Amino acid sequence: MTNGAAGHNTAGPVHQAWPGLIAAYRDRLPVEDTWTPITLLEGGTPLIHAKRLSEQTGCTVHLKVEGLNPTGSFKDRGMTMAVTDAIARGQQAVLCASTGNTSASAAAYAAKAGITCAVLIPQGKIAMGKLAQAVMHGAKIIQVEGNFDDCLELARKLTADYPTIALVNSVNPVRIEGQKTAAFEIIDVLGTAPDVHSLPVGNAGNITAYWRGYREYHRDGLSDRLPRMLGTQAAGAAPLVSGHPVSNPETIATAIRIGSPASWNSAVEAQEQSDGRFLAATDDEILAAYRLVAAAEGVFVEPASAASIAGLLKSIDDGWVKPGSTVVCTVTGNGLKDPDTALKGMPEVTPIPVDPAAVVAKLGLG
């Protein structure tokens, strides 16, 4: 029933608005009752059935689309926790080492909290869409003569020496706590865990977090099974596949160009405990999956995100994933983070006359 004078619905809201992940899962997170969450209403991202990928693989495939978080990546799940924790502890600034997505997220949440954010970035090879976000949110950008691993080591030393600065990389344990909520959301939708969960692996915090979330729900009787964890690294940055650090990692997938993952041990634990696997995908395989998920499913992701799709396709081919399995692929970041990759090889666009027949001919429909 509506109020005719005001034109407002007086029957109450049609649905309950998403409150942000701390409010949604507060009883499962290390947050004190007196703390005020620093939130941009992160989490609650869609789990989209991938019809054509399902047909191609013979599985039931769902995409957990983390690029629809506020800053366009899964990093927001951990960052709401890290910045909330920093404010509660009276810290005055946040610091991170980043290849892009962490910097965007840290800068946004620091801006929301009204504190300083500093970002250490490796020299060159950063997706500019991500750096632009950090700049717009007011972060102080510091370029380091080295790779991501050098930046992270410097960040660790700085925050150890200056305790008023919070380190908000995934080595911060509350980051993992926030990220585990994605596993909760998947089970909340599906009713149980998938048979296989596929995701990209760079610094390895995300595979650690998902496994923690799945185990917690299973422990509490909210899922009757646990998934096998499938972690895919870029072939040029695959330390977990080779079993040793990579000193000069190289891949087009900048978000996972990491040679020595900070969460190495916990990622291996997730793989071993779940009877999972790590594998490597070439840049060509990642780019093929990147184009496939955009063209076939309407989901535009950044290249690193597509590693989860590439890993699934390789695992179908070698028989590790069986037909009929239920599979969730996490696509970790939005394609708008790295538009340059999408535009490479784009055919030249030539003008046509202002004529419907010319449009029909161009479309090959005449």
Binding-site sequence positions: 101, 202-206, 332
Taking each helix axis from N to C end, the angle separating 307-317 and 283-297, rounded to the nearest 10 degrees, works out to: 100
Nearest to 55 by CA among 290, 231, 296: 296
- C-alpha triplet 101, 49, 317: angle, nearest 5°: 85
Give the residue among 151, 156, 308 at the shortest CA–CA distance from 297.
308
> Is residue 286 within 8 Å of 305, Cβ to Cβ?
no
What's the Rg (C-alpha) of the chain?
A: 21
Tell me the two tokens of residue 351.
């003008």
217's CB contacts (< 8 A; 6+ apart) are: 183, 184, 187, 193, 223
Binding residue ranges for pyridoxal 5'-phosphate = 101, 202-206, 332
For the chain, helix, strand, coil in percent to 5 are: 45, 15, 40
> What is the rounded CA–CA span in Å between residue 290 and residue 277?
21
DSSP letter for each residue of 136-181: HTT-EEEEESS-HHHHHHHHHHHHHH-TTEEE-STTSHHHHHHHTH
**Helix residue ranges, H only, 1-127:** 21-24, 51-57, 75-88, 101-113
Phi/psi of residue 341, nearest 5 degrees: -65, -40
